[in-house]
Amino acid sequence: MLALVATFVLACLVFLSKPCAREMRLFLSTLCQELALALLGFLAGLRLLGGVGAGAAAETTMPLMPSFKRKRAAAVEEGGGGGGGGGGGEEAGGEPSVLDLPELAIECILARLPPSELRNMAGVCRSMRERCRGDHLWERHMSEKWGGVLGHAAREEWRTYLASAADTGGAAASCSLAGGGRHRRWLAALSCVCPVVSWMRPRADGGSGGKSAGPVLDDSIMSWYLSMESGKFWFPAQVYNREHGHVGFMMSCYDAELSYDFHSDTFRARYPPHGRRTVVLEDGVHWDRVRAPPVDTHAHDLHASDCLHELRPGDNIEIQWRRNKEFPYGWWYGVVGHLESCDGSEHFCRCHLSDTVVLEFNQYTPGSRWRQALVNRKDHREEGNEGDGFYGGIRKLRSKDEISKWRQLWPTDILE
């Protein structure tokens, strides 16, 4: 201790006699820290020499942070040790804890909590954190809120996001290892002199005593839900009538990356660049304009049509269309129409036997070049030109919900 003080005085004399170089400042900073640690150790020794009685009294008057652990077992042991004390031993052991309830009762309580309360319960203690992070509790919340906008592509993107975050987090942890160890040394030394400092140690060590600043990234459903809620995770989905219902995209659905905005309960869409256009951003996308991709076909790939042989007049369909070869496909709504040679009679119609399928887009005015398209039923590939665009794969709409959604998006005015 005296040697450190003498060294400190000598260093101060050198500091006053010479210009303050960067190395000298670093040396003095390290020396001051070591001197302070030695002083704290000295004071801790004096505190221990104060007597067992004083130490016990200090521990009684300055208890550690109360925990959320089971107390009933300890109370029973104390009651049994008293010998013939009756049933008063359990009451003297402390107040009952939620964890004293049966397992089934705890699970029923947690199952009825909304996501925000379930997250708060996970910050109470280690035992509750393990219970509240169970996938069986979060599957229902995930399905109810995000099930309509998340598809297979979003799950694959989430796995990629986790792997990227793990690599980044590992590098950051290795860089901050030395600083974190020094901080824990200081708290350990201070806790020897002042027990109240020990309350801060679980937080500094990353323990369960405090609530984390953000969602912990792992492969649990809770982590995925909270990452979606925070808006930090961009996931692939499709947007109806992109770019605020621009007239050039009416009755279409395009691929985009979306991020949730908790404050407005809407999404932010990021459309990929194509041609000479850069990335297009759109804010305020409402829930009713977002859907999970119905097929796993990439936006630049031709969808394999497997329904051409069964298409009949009146069927509702979606067809891929793009302006030119550089653009991604979008899904456009249409219906199967009748051939010119057919009078449209239900009893005499033979359009389903023809190799040519008529597709009608009735959102456009009659006579418009976008009103009708013809495709080959037996050998359908991408068809079109630079003037009218290119038609790709076709999927038949079999769900009443899908058909109803398109009808809800029908424009008020006929398009030119």
SS (H, E, C) the chain: CHHHHHHHHHHHHHHHHCCCCHHHHHHHHHHHHHHHHHHHHHHHHHHHCCCHHHHHHHHHHCCCCCCCCCCHHHHHHHHHHCCCCCCHHHHHCCCCCHHHCCHHHHHHHHHCCCHHHHHHHCCCCHHHHHHHCCHHHHHHHHHHHHCCCCCHHHHHHHHHHHHHHHHHHHHHHHHCHHHHHHHHHHHHHHHHHCHHHHHHHHHHCCCCCCCCCCCCCCCCHHHHHHHHHHCCCCEEEEEECHHHHCHHHCCEEEEEEEEEECCCCEEEEEECCECCECCEEEEEECHHHEECCCCCCCCCCCCCCCCHHHCCCCCEEEEEEECCCCCCCEEEEEEEECCCCCCCCCCCCCHHHCCEEEEECCCECCCCCCCEEEEECCCCCCEEECCCEEEEEEEECCCHHHHHHHHHCCCCCCEC
d(CA 146, CA 161): 17
pLDDT at 266: 96
Determine whether 61 is exposed, middle or buried from the number of CB atoms within 10 Å of its CB (0-12, 13-18, 19+): exposed
pLDDT for position 25:
59
**pLDDT given for residue 65 in this prediction:** 39
Q: What is the pLDDT of residue 73?
A: 46
CA–CA gap between residue 384 and residue 162 (Å, rounded): 41
Q: Which residue type, as a one-letter code, is found at position 223?
A: S
How many Cβ atoms from other residues are within 10 Å of residue 293's Cβ? 20
pLDDT score for 415: 80
CA gap 56, 75 in Å, rounded: 21
Domain locations in the chain as residue ranges = 100-133, 148-164+220-293, 315-409
Q: What is the pLDDT of residue 40?
A: 61
pLDDT in tens, 246-281: 888 999 999 999 999 999 999 999 998 876 778 889
Which residue ranges in the chain fall short of pLDDT 70? 1-94, 169-216, 275
